[in-house]
A = this chain, B = another copy of it.
């Protein structure tokens, strides 16, 4: 196991002191920022996430703020999802594509005002893409990365913990909606969202100086709820079919290949970059698509794409995999050609440790 060499370039977060005090054991790098990956062990963290409540430093979901008269126009340029019906206080999961329809991010957009939006990004420099478009089109919009760092509260006891710090009104926040809540005099957006299927919230912590006070307040308030520092869990997110940009889809894939066709209203998303390419894809349908795949046997560490074989023919690749304690099988996400993507298809996955038997499923586990 190699260590991660830290430097200023791999940015610390407003919560890094708390993360270290909680005994973080592993990191990944996400948007050039440290993102914890394991505290006690991945399996221990997994069981705890499903039974209690965790505080996650997901500052690496950086915000891109669009503000100004052309903000809404620029937002619609970014995504094939039709944003016209989006209301203030709503969160939208939006695929972002380049001019060829290739995915370059899959963020969550927040509509703060008619002329003010946040994009809570996955792992690619959306700031540069959005600024490049704004500059090229001479749009009247300010694009920047504000000092806002999401902190996720995830797990079945998330509502109880949040109510103790922000008041009972947080219980009324609907899924993929956000409201404004006070913490020690600062107003923060709190959304019912997060990168797990265990329920919970994301607090958009405004101002680095508010990071550790909030972290500590949540830890203190949740002692009897068995609150613990956590992070997106590599097993749970696969069970839940939560895709990871850069792992399960890249610029090589359209949203339709990623199974995100339902978020593409390409006909009506007038002005969106990549529209011509996606109209073609929507008409013909993808020739490969993301599928849940169960794998039998010992699952190695998935640090690269594993070929999926039908006999001697490559028909796809596994991009994320883990052993699931709760389901007693290897759980995986893969991209499979249409000739072999039907439920129940038996295939072979070529891992660095040798071949394993695999089955295409219809639905993810959670």
Query: How distant is the Cα of A10 from the Cα of B124 in the complex, in angstroms?
Result: 12
Contact A128 B123 (CB under 8 A): no
> Is A135 an interface position by the 8 A CB rule?
yes
Contact A123 B319 (CB under 8 A): no
User: Which chain B residue lies CB-closest to A37?
Assistant: B5
8 A Cβ contacts from A286-335 to B: 301-305, 319-320
Which B residues are in CB contact (< 8 Å) with A280?
none
Which B residues are in CB contact (< 8 Å) with A302?
7-8
Which B residues are in CB contact (< 8 Å) with A301?
6
Contact B246 A8 (CB under 8 A): yes
- Segment with Cβ contacts to B, from A20-28, A107-115, A196-204: A20-28
> Is A3 an interface position by the 8 A CB rule?
yes
Distance between A365 CB and nearest chain B CB, rounded to angstroms = 20
Which of A12, A246, A305 has the largest count of B CB atoms less than 10 A from its CB? A246
Contact A25 B3 (CB under 8 A): yes
**Of B9, B98, B246, the contact of A123 (CB 8 Å cutoff):** B9
> Is A209 an interface position by the 8 A CB rule?
no
Known contacts A128-B132, A137-B136; A303/B3 CB under 8 A: no
Which B residues are in CB contact (< 8 Å) with A98?
131
> Is A2 an interface position by the 8 A CB rule?
yes
Contact B25 A247 (CB under 8 A): no
Q: CB-defined interface of A18-45 with B at 8 Å, one 1/0 digit per residue?
A: 0000001111110010000110000000
Which of A32, A128, A305 has the largest count of B CB atoms less than 10 A from its CB? A128
Give the B-binding residues of A (Cβ under 8 A). Answer: 1-10, 12, 24-29, 32, 37-38, 98-99, 104, 123-126, 128-137, 234, 244-247, 273, 301-305, 319-320
Complex A-B: 9 CB contacts under 8 Å: A2-B4, A2-B24, A2-B25, A2-B26, A5-B26, A5-B37, A28-B29, A133-B136, A136-B137
